[in-house]
Structure formats: C-alpha cells, structure tokens
C-alpha cells in the first residue's frame, strides 16, 4: 500500500533541484533539499518510538523546518497537530491531553513551561526553534536523507486541527490523507497554478489556510513560495514584484491598501490575489480593483472541510459572495429546524458534502453526530443563500463566533473566564467591527450587586489563561444584559449598541 498524502503531493518532488522556498535572507531551498530535511525528521520521529497513527503536537514558530516536520509526520504515518504559537500553557495542556499526543514539539523558550505538562501526560518533549535549531534537529542530523515511507490509506488520519466550540471546549477535527489531497488538487486546477507560479506565503502555518491550502496547492503544482515568517507589510511589498500569486486574510489586503507603495505597477507581475478565512468587505474588493486592476478572488472554507466554494478564475468574481461550490463538493441551504432544502435565494444553514469533509471530531461522537449527518452532509454553522446565478452568499453565522484578523474566537471560552472573575455577576462577549481586524473582541460585564469589578485585574486574569488574540480589546460595564423572553442574551442588541466603538477616526 502507498502513502496517499506523501505519494500524491510531497514525495513527487524528491530529488528535484527546483526552487521550493525563497527565504527573506535570499536563501533558496529546493524541493529535493526540503524533502531530505523531512526524511531525516521522519527518521528521528520513528527512532523516538512513534508508531503510525500517533499524534505529534507542534507549537513552533514558522520556519522551513516546521513545514518539513509536517511532511515528515505524513511520511512516517503520524498525525500532525499544529498549535497556535499564542496559546498559553493552560490551553496547550488541554490539547495535549485531549489528543493523547505522544510527542510535543515546542520552541526552546517554552520548554520549561511545557515539560511538567508533557511529563504528567506521558508525552515526550523535543524542541524546534525559529532558526531551525533544537533537539529534534540535532537528532535528525544523524538520520539519512531518505526514509521508507509508511503506508497509509486515503481514509487514514493525516492531521488534527483543533477548532473551538460554542460550549468553550475545543474539538479536534480529524482530517484524512484524502481530505487534503483531493482539496489541494481541486484548488490547484481551479486557480490555474503551474510550476512557474511564485506564491507569497505570509500566513501562519498552524491553521489550515497557511498549512494546507497555500502549501499543498504549491506542492500539487511544483511551484515555489516566498516564505515569510509572518505578515510584515514591508516584506510583502518588497516581495510583490517577484511574485505571481498571494493568499491572505482580508486584513492583509486592507493593510496593503493602507500603504501608498501598493500600486498597479508594483503588482504588474501578479496574476492572482486570493482571500478567505473571514468576510471580505465589498468596499475592500472595489478599492482593490480601483488601485490595482485586480479583482480579489474570494473563497470559503473551514477547518473541518478545507475549501468548499470559490469565485471563478475565468468568470466574474462577484464582490460580497464566495462563488460556487468546488468541483466535487455539494452545497445546500437548509432549514435549521427541519433540515429541509430551501429554495434559491432563501437564507438558511449552509451544508456541504464531498471528499473534503472531515472524518469527525476526535473522541466526541455526540458532537460529530450533531454536525455531520449520516448521509455525509456537514452542517457548517454558517448562514447563507445561493442566488439565481449560483453564487453563494454568506450572510451570518448560527454559531457564536468572532473572526478577528482571520483568527476564530469563540465567545463562550472568554465568558467562562470573565464569569469567574471577582466582582462579576455575568458577562457577554461580542464581536464588533474593527478597521484592521474586521471584527474585534468586546467584553460586556455585569457587576455583582454592590461591587465594582477591577477591570485591570480582570484583564490580567484573562492573560494568564487565554492566548493574546482572544483577549477582549476592551471591557465595559453594563447594569444588565438584554435578554429575550426565553432568557437568552440578545447579543445582536449588544452588537448594535457598541458597533461604533472601534470605528475609524
């Protein structure tokens, strides 16, 4: 048996001296050299005693070695579990425990904090730093640059990506080899990538967007990537004249538009700008076209499903829509109460089915059953409609979710911390419009009778338990939360009340 992911996307480049990664310091890593690094890492992982199907939890800075670690896991039949570099030890403990990870790989600076957790949970701990050094790299050096790929079937697990839940408990979305392979091939074809493309990669690699959409499309076609450690406006502007394509979240595009150096001439060699992970304002779409002559191609996806829809490459890219279902993906709009399919132009819940749809949530059969129907349709939690021309419009979310700069934040997780804070009776966390991040987090607190909560102390409490990107940008006090007759907090009224709080000056 072959190894579906490795043989379909990664290993096909073995021995090729074609450029794969262009680094900011001018270094170029070829496909062949990259795969040799991955093979050495696969050797080291196997020698550590990891067996096919074991989970490898990875919280490291973005680097070529970090990307090679993902490939090494595929080659060795392991399940790669990337984690946001901002997560606190509290958050990490949950992921390591819940996934039953056998190995944790972290930056050396996080080693002291994580060692007790790893020991307690029976996981080995290795380091991998932003510059590629670390104990794992040292081990890998003694292994050969080739590795006997472990057989894996299309339905075997390749990755776990945790997504937060509306109850505040994160769920491990189980992605199979074929989920990743099928989506990468479809997208590479649809977006007309070729080996001559040069893709700007400034996304983090702990989310599906940067880790799989961008990287796997590049690997599926053998093109190269300008690989930036993070989105840095100056670096991206410097890279644009040498690039042909870019993938980003809307904040990338609004930041570029905010810079006078971003001109039609600068992007003369570009053929494609793709946006996703959060809604792109029609206003941004129009400004972008006026400035550059390019119409941004917006697409829609989820951790659980990879990409579902995309605006067309050749046809009209319609602002405010996410285009058509991808080839092989079925999409329907259903009534949230009955599950019945709704007619054209009627708003309902978006459901999708196809080879892209994940296998379920790790060890959470009830949650899986609640969202993944027996017939294979996945209930996305997004609300939308399909217009008469077939374009999908996302009009809202039935899940209580904030998307800030492309990061998903589940209010419940923050409310649980705020509700426990001294002097607080209850809280509601909402997303309000923000000029840079699209939405940002606002915490609304109701003081306990006769008490005045210390907002600075509460922010300190939040910092200890939650990653920085989840922190409320502001906390406000309110005498009581608006509720409907059923007693449910009416967050829409709160959003209306505070919507102008971070408006542009």
Q: Is 380 in the site for ligand MCA (CB under 6 A)?
A: no
Contacted by 383, from ligand AMP, ligand MCA, none: CB < 5 to 8 Å by type:
none
Q: Is 251 in the site for ligand MCA (CB under 6 A)?
A: yes
Q: Is 182 in the site for ligand MCA (CB under 6 A)?
A: no
Angle at 329 between CA 328 and CA 335, to 5 degrees: 150
Going by the DSSP 8-state scheme, the letter that residue 10 receives in this structure is I
- List all residues 6 or more positions away from 411 whose beta carbon is below 8 Å from its beta carbon: 400, 401, 402, 428, 429, 430, 431, 441, 491
Q: Based on CB atoms, which residue is closest to ligand MCA, 77 or 82?
A: 82
Rounded CA separation 114/56 (Å) = 14
Q: Is 351 in the site for ligand AMP (CB under 6 A)?
A: no
Which string of DSSP letters, residue by residue, matches 387-421? -TTS-EEEEEESS--EEETTEEE-HHHHHHHHHTS
Contacted by 404, from ligand AMP, ligand MCA, none: CB < 5 to 8 Å by type:
ligand MCA
Q: Based on CB atoms, which residue is closest to ligand MCA, 94 or 469?
A: 469
Contacted by 163, from ligand AMP, ligand MCA, none: CB < 5 to 8 Å by type:
ligand AMP
Contacted by 298, from ligand AMP, ligand MCA, none: CB < 5 to 8 Å by type:
ligand AMP
Query: Which of residues 51, 195, 264, 468 is near ligand MCA by CB under 6 A?
Result: 468
Question: Which of these segments, 91-99, 139-147, 208-216, 493-501, binds ligand MCA (CB under 6 A)?
Answer: 208-216
C-beta of residue 424 within 8 angstroms of C-beta of residue 418:
yes
Q: Is 82 in the site for ligand MCA (CB under 6 A)?
A: no
Q: Is 163 in the site for ligand AMP (CB under 6 A)?
A: yes
Q: Is 502 in the site for ligand MCA (CB under 6 A)?
A: no
Please report where in the chains the tokens 């079925």 appear, as a residue: 330
Q: Is 277 in the site for ligand AMP (CB under 6 A)?
A: yes
Signed CA dihedral, 403, 405, 407, 412: sign only: negative
Burial class of 209 by CB neighbour count within 10 A (0 to 12, 13 to 18, 19+): buried
Rounded CA separation 383/399 (Å) = 9
Q: Is 207 in the site for ligand MCA (CB under 6 A)?
A: yes
Please report where in the chains the tokens 């919507």 appear, as a residue: 499
Task: Tell the smallest beta-carbon distance from residue 174 to ligand MCA (Å).
Answer: 15
Rounded CA separation 204/63 (Å) = 10
Please report where in the chains the tokens 């102390």 appear, as a residue: 457
Q: Which of 206, 198, 185, 226 lies closest to 329, judged by CA? A: 185
Q: Is 175 in the site for ligand AMP (CB under 6 A)?
A: no
Signed CA dihedral, 404, 373, 210, 290: sign only: negative
Query: Which of residues 126, 178, 351, 382 is near ligand AMP by CB under 6 A?
Result: 382
Task: Tell the smallest beta-carbon distance from residue 322 to ligand AMP (Å).
Answer: 5
Q: Based on CB atoms, which residue is closest to ligand AMP, 6 or 160?
A: 160
Query: Which of residues 126, 298, 351, 413 is near ligand AMP by CB under 6 A?
Result: 298
Which string of DSSP letters, residue by residue, matches 32-53? HHHHHHHHHHHHHHHHTT--TT
Going by the DSSP 8-state scheme, the letter that residue 143 receives in this structure is S
Q: Based on CB atoms, which residue is closest to ligand MCA, 42 or 383?
A: 383
Q: Is 205 in the site for ligand AMP (CB under 6 A)?
A: no
Q: Based on CB atoms, which residue is closest to ligand AMP, 46 or 306?
A: 306
Query: Which of residues 134, 172, 222, 276 is near ligand MCA by CB under 6 A?
Result: 276
Residue 115, φ and ψ in degrees, nearest 5: -55, -50
Q: Is 264 in the site for ligand MCA (CB under 6 A)?
A: no
Contacted by 405, from ligand MCA, ligand AMP, none: CB < 5 to 8 Å by type:
ligand MCA
Q: Is 228 in the site for ligand MCA (CB under 6 A)?
A: no
Q: What string of H, E and C letters represents the secondary structure of 111-126?
A: HHHHHHHHHHHCCEEE
Rounded CA separation 221/223 (Å) = 6
Q: Is 248 in the site for ligand AMP (CB under 6 A)?
A: no
C-beta of residue 166 within 8 angstroms of C-beta of residue 189:
no
**Residue 185 belongs to what H/E stretch?**
helix 177-190
Task: Tell the smallest beta-carbon distance from residue 350 to ligand AMP (Å).
Answer: 8
C-beta of residue 49 within 8 angstroms of C-beta of residue 103:
no
Rounded CA separation 221/131 (Å) = 27
What is the Cα 293 distance to its own chain's centre?
Answer: 28
Rounded CA separation 208/327 (Å) = 20
Q: Which of residues 293-312 bind ligand MCA (CB under 6 A)?
A: 301-303
Contacted by 322, from ligand MCA, ligand AMP, none: CB < 5 to 8 Å by type:
ligand AMP
Lookup: tokens for 197: 């493309």
Question: Which of these segments, 135-143, 184-192, 401-409, 485-493, binds ligand MCA (CB under 6 A)?
Answer: 401-409
Query: Which of residues 303, 349, 356, 440 is near ligand AMP by CB under 6 A?
Result: 303
Query: Which of residues 172, 406, 443, 453 is near ligand MCA by CB under 6 A?
Result: 406
Question: Would you mind telling me the total number of residues written for the chain in this entry?
Answer: 505
Query: Which of residues 10, 34, 147, 231 is near ligand MCA by CB under 6 A?
Result: 231
Lookup: tokens for 77: 């039949």
In the complex, the residues that contact ligand MCA under the rule CB under 6 A are 203-204, 207-210, 230-231, 249, 251, 276-277, 301-303, 404-407, 437, 468-469
Contacting residues toward ligand AMP, per CB under 6 A:
163, 276-279, 298, 300-303, 322, 380-382, 394, 397, 403, 408
């Amino acid at each position: 048996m072959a190894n579906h992911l490795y043989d379909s996307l990664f290993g096909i480049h073995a021995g090729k001296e074609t450029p794969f990664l262009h680094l900011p310091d001018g270094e170029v890593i070829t496909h062949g050299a990259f795969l040799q690094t991955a093979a050495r890492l696969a050797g080291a992982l196997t020698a550590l005693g990891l067996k096919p199907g074991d989970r490898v939890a990875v919280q490291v800075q973005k680097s070529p070695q970090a990307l090679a670690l993902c490939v090494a896991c595929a080659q060795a039949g392991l399940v790669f579990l990337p984690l946001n570099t901002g997560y606190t030890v509290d958050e990490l403990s949950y992921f390591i425990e819940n996934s039953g990870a056998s190995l944790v790989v972290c930056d050396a600076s996080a080693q002291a904090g994580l060692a007790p957790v790893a020991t307690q949970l029976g996981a080995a701990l290795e380091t991998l730093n932003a510059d590629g050094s670390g104990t794992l790299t040292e081990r890998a050096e003694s292994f050969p640059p080739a590795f006997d790929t472990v057989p894996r079937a299309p339905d075997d697990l390749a990755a776990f990506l945790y997504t937060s839940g509306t109850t505040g408990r994160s769920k491990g979305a189980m992605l199979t080899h074929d989920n990743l392979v099928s989506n990468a091939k479809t997208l590479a074809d649809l977006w007309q990538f070729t080996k001559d493309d040069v893709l700007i990669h400034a996304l983090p690699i702990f989310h599906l967007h940067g880790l799989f959409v961008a990287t796997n499309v590049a690997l599926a076609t053998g093109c190269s990537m300008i690989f930036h450690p993070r989105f840095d406006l100056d670096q991206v502007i410097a890279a644009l004249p040498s690039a042909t394509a870019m993938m980003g979240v809307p904040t990338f595009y609004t930041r570029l538009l905010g810079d006078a150096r971003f001109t039609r001439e600068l992007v003369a060699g570009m053929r494609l700008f793709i946006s996703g992970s959060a809604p792109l304002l029609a206003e941004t779409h129009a400004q972008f076209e006026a400035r550059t002559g390019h119409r941004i191609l917006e697409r829609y996806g989820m951790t659980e499903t990879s990409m579902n829809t995309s605006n067309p490459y050749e046809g009209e890219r319609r602002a405010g829509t996410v285009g058509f279902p991808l080839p092989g993906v079925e999409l329907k709009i259903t009534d949230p109460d009955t599950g019945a399919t709704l007619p054209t132009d009627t708003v309902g819940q978006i459901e999708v089915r196809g080879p892209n749809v994940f296998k379920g949530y790790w060890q959470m059969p009830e949650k899986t059953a609640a969202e993944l129907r027996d017939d294979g349709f996945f209930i996305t939690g997004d609300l939308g409609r399909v217009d008469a021309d077939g374009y999908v419009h996302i009009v809202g979310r039935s899940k209580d979710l904030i998307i800030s700069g492309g990061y998903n934040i589940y209010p419940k997780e923050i409310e649980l911390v705020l509700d426990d804070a001294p002097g607080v009776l209850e809280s509601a966390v909402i997303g309000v419009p923000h000029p840079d991040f699209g939405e940002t987090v606002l915490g609304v607190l109701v003081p306990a009778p006769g008490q005045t909560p210390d907002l600075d102390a509460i922010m300190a409490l939040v910092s200890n338990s939650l990653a920085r990107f989840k922190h409320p940008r502001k906390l406000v006090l309110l005498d009581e939360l608006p509720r409907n007759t059923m007693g449910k907090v009416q967050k829409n009224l709160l959003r209306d009340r505070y919507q102008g709080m971070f408006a542009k000056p």
